[in-house]
Amino acid sequence: MVGNSGVTGGTKKTLVMKEIQYQEDGFLLSDEALASCDVAVFVYDSSDESSWKRAIDMVSEVATISEDAGFVFPCLMVAAKMDLGSFPMAIQESTRATQDIGIEAPIPISSKLGNFDNLFHKILTAAEHPHLCIPKIESKRKRVLKLINSWIPECWVKCFCISS
């Protein structure tokens, strides 16, 4: 665990970070891990296109699993190794992908260049204002309901509405 203190709104805050590993059964998170999460941060290698694609897939997976389990929390993406030079298309695609799901563009960092204050501040801000970074991804339950509704002929719906 890593602790970092910051001041937001005149109040000192402590940031505790915990890395979550895949479980043996292939699922990313347990319900216990989801329940204890205030903010999910996905760090990827900005010099590796497959890394950011996996990160955006993980955001989608976590958002879907958490919503299905009844947990909703903000998600942030962090583009690491910015000093190595990212592929221009990867930057554009990752920014577009995050905008499509309603979260902030990836936060650029470089461990060589240091200064992670901006990153920690953004994580604290997301924890204090979670509604700003919650991914807009349909849960499995919503997708199933849409599918069922698309199967029901319109006349059946009208008949059910009239008879009740």
Report the pLDDT value the prediction gives residue 164, as an integer from 0 to 100: 44
CATH fold of the domain at 2-139: Rossmann fold (3.40.50)
pLDDT tens digit at each of 164 positions of the chain: 344 445 456 677 777 777 776 666 665 667 777 777 888 888 888 888 888 888 888 888 888 888 888 888 888 988 888 777 656 566 677 778 788 888 888 888 888 877 777 888 888 888 888 888 788 876 555 555 555 555 555 555 544 545 44
Do 106 and 47 contact (CB within 8 A), yes or no? Answer: no
Q: Phi first, then psi: give them for residue 151, nearest 5 degrees.
A: -80, -30
CB 104 within 8 A of CB 98: yes
Alpha-carbon separation of residue 27 from 22, 31, 144 (angstroms): 6, 11, 21
What pLDDT score does 146 carry?
A: 57
Residue with tokens 């590796």: 48
Angle at 68 between CA 24 and CA 73, to 5 degrees: 90
Q: Give the chain's largest Cα–Cα span.
A: 69
Contact, 85 vs 69, CB < 8 A?
no
pLDDT of residue 86: 59
- CA 132, CA 134: separation in Å to the nearest integer? 6
User: Could you tell me the two tokens for 115?
Assistant: 């200064």
Q: For position 112, what pLDDT does the model report?
A: 84
